[in-house]
Amino acid sequence: MITFQEAYLKVMAHKQDYGTEEVELLKSMDRVLAEDIKADRDFPPFDRATKDGIAINYAAIKNGIKEFRIEAVLAAGSPKYKLKSENNCVEIMTGAVVPENADTIVMYEQITIKNGYAILDKDPNQGQEIHLQGSDELQGAIVLNKHKLITASEIGVLAAVGKAKVLVKKLPKSTIISTGNELVDVQETPLPHQIRKSNIYSLYAALAEEKIVPSQLHLNDEKEEIKKEIKKALNENDVLLLSGGVSKGKFDYIPDVLAELGVEKIFHRVLQRPGKPFWFGIQKETRTLIFSFPGNPASTFANYHLYFKDWLKGSLSLSIPKINVILDESIPVTGNLTLFLRVKIRMENGQLLADLVKENGSGDLTSLAQSDGFIRLDPKEVPYSVGELVPFSPTRRTISL
Amino acid sequence: MITFQEAYLKVMAHKQDYGTEEVELLKSMDRVLAEDIKADRDFPPFDRATKDGIAINYAAIKNGIKEFRIEAVLAAGSPKYKLKSENNCVEIMTGAVVPENADTIVMYEQITIKNGYAILDKDPNQGQEIHLQGSDELQGAIVLNKHKLITASEIGVLAAVGKAKVLVKKLPKSTIISTGNELVDVQETPLPHQIRKSNIYSLYAALAEEKIVPSQLHLNDEKEEIKKEIKKALNENDVLLLSGGVSKGKFDYIPDVLAELGVEKIFHRVLQRPGKPFWFGIQKETRTLIFSFPGNPASTFANYHLYFKDWLKGSLSLSIPKINVILDESIPVTGNLTLFLRVKIRMENGQLLADLVKENGSGDLTSLAQSDGFIRLDPKEVPYSVGELVPFSPTRRTISL
């Protein structure tokens, strides 16, 4: 058996690049940008009024003028106007182009309008209330770097520079496979010795968060059926995620079947709990990766988040977050297994505190729903102490408070 | 003008309840559970082997027996078996029902199998390696409380208890409305005095995160057109989100039009930056709420996150997170405006540290994409100091590290 650290590095050494594809702007949400995005023009594209009021030429102020004849009214969206006389003004609305011959805006709150004239209540500063052309970004400047996750704010930038279609990283074609004769579907009533599938649903939901829409497959514990179906799946997918069938049981055919199909085992079994019987391998010809997780809910869920999510981030060129949280209780960790314990995160005084969630072994489903993620505790001579920093892997995007 | 705190409380006082609806399990992701979920049977539903090995009756150990004749092999998914003699054993696989007359599992690693007999390498503990029926949850126990956000782990629990359909909180029917003659669509090439719509895209994307699929509408600055379209939208929606048209400009018709349509203004203009000209109101007959945001990208984006998101959480019975982060620099805040400053969050030693993002006023689009959210700084006599805790509103679900 290998350690968690060794297993993690072996998984990360198999990052893949699935190329790029173009998607419509609003479909690019939560995808990874695959091109640098440049400003297609200056931002702002013109000297832009930032207040509603009048546009004047400051030279007039220097000449002692306080009253300006109003030449015109400029709305946002009006073509650029030329001020006829520097002793006149125009009314101008937020977002409109500052006229030629004007260089200062005075907002309505600081003027009085009477008989077609605007009278200044106080002296303005030269150049005030103007958002100068190119002051945010010059044409050609990179406004979004590739390999950035696209969220609502990036969507706004992409729209502003005219990216109706966006080049994003392609996602791996994936199939999730449940195994085991004891499993029935969610809408069925299980017999006393049966249970319902649940891992395949939580995996589906977790992948959906990453915008992966996986295919689904269920295999009974029949070796020839498993072999036939996995052979097909290997050739049709970039990634297979299996749940169950990798322990030491007589009907745990997955490792044998994968070996018979010529899939290279990279490792099987890791010094960790939960998730020890994790099997990881690759079919070299197709570069299909196989993440074969033990079937207990906590094991599948932990290994998905510990290995697969970081592997996916790496494959999509995203940076991999390293989050440390603060232990709120003392925990002894003896033996030779790295423990992944379910915790709830408490945000207090700007700190991330980890509270252990009561759990009942790796078959315990409900405690996962009470957790925000797993803390990692490697075996240590002395107990982990209150206040100690430990690595944390979140299992939900929004930490519930 | 009212303060941010007053405005926030007025918005939150208008929480609505849009009722419930049933959706398919995999469509319930990111929705809010509207029913308590109970265990439909004990979890686990039977005494369940947690290791592959043999099942024995511990009485035999007490009688000094070390070798057990193997009666049968039990797979997961096999009906319950009865051990014929307490001096015999069965081979049993993880997930299988522990047989009647057996009470202890010994894993393969601790036995030797020869000639149809299993020989113990060491003495087991009575009851070991068995996940007892009902030890996680008893039938009828609440396994998920209503008003919980459904994520991947909750999906697993819902599947396990047979919820093929889930009752969730209904979302408000929403329309987002952009206004302004200067705006052209993302796929168009703007004239020199025009800019592309961007707020409507970032609002769409932000609402999509909440699983709201809004309708979209664009209004030019023509009062009668605005009035006709808004009247229609008021009657067809629970919520209107507008961007632009609420400043002091001559063509900012929105406040007038809403007044003429009998919409009650709850407030207009808040002592805050960005987002000061925020207009909020309600059409009493239909209970339609109007969030009318100023048109600058940072203003719309800030007000969406500061007001609308918390209002939505409250309306869906979700708790509203209060996150404080630690300032990493000293900031003076004079004047009478509450400032919302763009920051990037750095996680370090279990702490959330806020670094200011360079910004260029509320018209500056690109700095939003460099930010993780806004910190709130109320005016204060002395500058905010390094290490001080300030409230934080995230603008992305995953804080980028």
What pairs with residue B290 in β-bridges? B240, B281
Band of the pLDDT at B397, cuts 50, 70, 90?
A: confident
Nearest CA of chain A to the CA of B284: how many Å?
A: 31
Does A368 contact B157 at a Cβ distance shorter than 8 Å?
Answer: yes
Nearest to B77 among A95, A157, A181 (CB): A181
- The pLDDT of residue A252 is 86
What pairs with residue B267 in β-bridges? B280
pLDDT tens digit sequence for B254-304: 999 999 999 999 999 999 999 999 999 999 999 999 999 998 899 999 999
Band of the pLDDT at B321, cuts 50, 70, 90?
A: confident
CB-based contacts of A89, cutoff 8 Å, min separation 6? A54, A55, A56, A68, A69, A70, A71, A83, A102, A118
Residues of chain A with pLDDT under 70: 362-363, 398-401
- The pLDDT of residue A363 is 63
Nearest to A95 among B164, B182, B401 (CB): B182
The CATH fold of domain A323-394? Beta-clip (2.40.340)
Rounded mean pLDDT of chain B? 95
pLDDT tens digit sequence for B274-288: 999 999 999 999 999
Tokens of B62: 């007490």
Nearest to B186 among A44, A152, A159 (CB): A159
Q: Which residue has the higher pLDDT, B73 or A400?
A: B73
**Closest by CA position to A166, among listed B178, B366, B187:** B187
Tally Cβ neighbours within 10 Å of residue B79: 11
Nearest CA of chain A to the CA of B156: how many Å?
A: 5
Q: Which of B247-256, B294-303, B356-365 has the highest mean pLDDT?
A: B294-303
Q: How far apart are alpha carbons A177 and A175 in whole angstroms? A: 6
- The pLDDT of residue A362 is 62
- The pLDDT of residue A401 is 38
Nearest to B77 among A148, A153, A194 (CB): A194
Strands of A2-57 (E only): list them: 20-24, 37-38, 48-49, 53-56
Does B201 contact A26 at a Cβ distance shorter than 8 Å?
Answer: yes
How would you label B241-271 residue by residue, b for 16+ Cβ within 10 Å and e otherwise? Answer: bbbbbbbbbebbbbbebbeeeebeebebbbb
Q: How far apart are alpha carbons A251 and B53 in whole angstroms? A: 12
- Tell me the mean pLDDT in the region B239-247: 91
Q: What length does chain B have?
A: 401
Does B155 contact A201 at a Cβ distance shorter than 8 Å?
Answer: yes
The CATH fold of domain A4-18+171-315? Molybdenum Cofactor Biosythetic Enzyme; Chain A (3.40.980)
Nearest CA of chain A to the CA of B144: how many Å?
A: 8
pLDDT tens digit sequence for B31-62: 999 999 999 999 999 999 999 999 999 999 99
pLDDT higher than 80, residue B400:
no
Nearest to B95 among A52, A295, A364 (CB): A295
Best mutation site among A201, A219, A300, A367 for testing chain B: the one with the most B CBs within 10 Å? Answer: A201
Does A363 contact B209 at a Cβ distance shorter than 8 Å?
Answer: no
Q: How far apart are alpha carbons B168 and B171 in whole angstroms? A: 9
Best mutation site among A54, A151, A319, A343 for testing chain B: the one with the most B CBs within 10 Å? Answer: A151
Q: How far apart are alpha carbons A17 and A32 in whole angstroms? A: 12
Does A78 contact B181 at a Cβ distance shorter than 8 Å?
Answer: yes
Share of chain B above pLDDT 70, in %: 98
Query: What are the structural domain ranges in chain A?
Result: 4-18+171-315, 21-43+135-169, 48-131, 323-394
Band of the pLDDT at B401, cuts 50, 70, 90?
A: very low
Spell out which residues of chain A touch residue B109, defining contact as CB-CB under 8 Å. 248
Q: Which residue of B has its CA nearest to A25?
A: B201
Nearest CA of chain B to the CA of A137: how many Å?
A: 8
Spell out which residues of chain B touch residue A97, defining contact as CB-CB under 8 Å. 192-193
CATH class of A21-43+135-169: alpha beta
Does B151 contact A321 at a Cβ distance shorter than 8 Å?
Answer: no
pLDDT tens digit sequence for B170-227: 999 999 999 989 999 999 999 999 999 999 999 999 999 999 999 999 999 899 999 9
Nearest CA of chain B to the CA of A302: how many Å?
A: 11
Nearest to A365 among B43, B162, B248 (CB): B43
ipTM over 0.90: yes
Does A361 contact B50 at a Cβ distance shorter than 8 Å?
Answer: yes
The CATH fold of domain B48-131? Molybdopterin biosynthesis moeA protein; domain 3 (2.170.190)
CATH of B2-18+171-315 given 3.30.1370.60, 3.40.980.10, 3.20.10.10, 3.40.50.720: 3.40.980.10
Are A305 and A314 in contact by the 8 Å Cβ rule? The answer is no
- Tell me the mean pLDDT in the region B239-257: 89
